[in-house]
Amino acid sequence: MRRTHPAAIVVPWNHWYHCSGSTYGTWLPGDARGWRVRNHKYHVDSDYKNPPADSEWRRAFHAHNAQRLKQPPVHLNSIEVRRAACTAFVKRFEYDHVECAAIAVAEMHYHSVIQVPDPRPGTWLGRAKKYAAHALKRDGVVEGRVWARSAQLKPIVDATHSWQAIRYVMAHANGEGASVWVNERFVE
């Protein structure tokens, strides 16, 4: 078990988190944008800001992981599908009494800024992902898995950080054609 030094633990401001994740199969280990492998089984000195060098090993590793997928990668191609997913996220957050300041659903990923009622943001985000997946399946848009298993849950440290995260989520409407929900209305 890996232990974290107590000074390295970031306490979220009023239980606010910036959560992000991707759709199933769209960002795999070996991707040219960079990646991390769980428990650092393979050490990679890169990330999405500093992508790895193109190599035969990286391409083979990516092809191996793409071959292991149980279904084709999921792309939310139309704005209507993205809006349906965004609406489902918001409905589930409201049902669970999770405050949602902003959420954006793009073709291959999502971002949200949420305030959870207890220190388990993954539980509340997982419930919303499940609800959104069922809504998309019920509408016949997607079959099988919709979202990637893991998500990034970054604690918001203060009010300034909160506004920066919200602005970042809102920027997805222009740059990526995402469906964005802020302050109880859609911004597109």
- Distance in angstroms (rounded) separating the CA atoms of residues 20 and 84: 18
Structure tokens at 95: 């049902």
The predicted pLDDT at position 100 comes to 95
pLDDT given for residue 4 in this prediction: 56
Please name each of the domains of the chain with its CATH number: 13-24+74-187 (3.30.70.1290), 38-67 (no CATH)
DSSP string, the chain: -----GGGPPPPGGGEEEEEEEBTTSS-TT-TT----GGGSS-----SSSPPPP-HHHHHHHHHHHHT-SSPPP---SHHHHHHHHHHHHHHHHHTT-EEEEEEE-SSEEEEEEE-SSS-HHHHHHHHHHHHHHHHHHTTS--S--B-S--EEEEP-SHHHHHHHHHHHHTHHHHS--EEEETTEEE-
Determine the pLDDT at residue 153: 93
Q: What is the pLDDT of residue 63?
A: 83
**pLDDT tens over the chain, length 188 residues:** 455 555 556 778 889 999 999 999 887 777 777 766 666 666 666 666 777 777 777 778 778 878 888 999 999 999 999 999 999 999 999 999 999 999 999 999 999 999 999 888 999 999 999 999 999 999 888 889 999 988 999 999 999 999 999 999 999 988 778 999 997 778 86
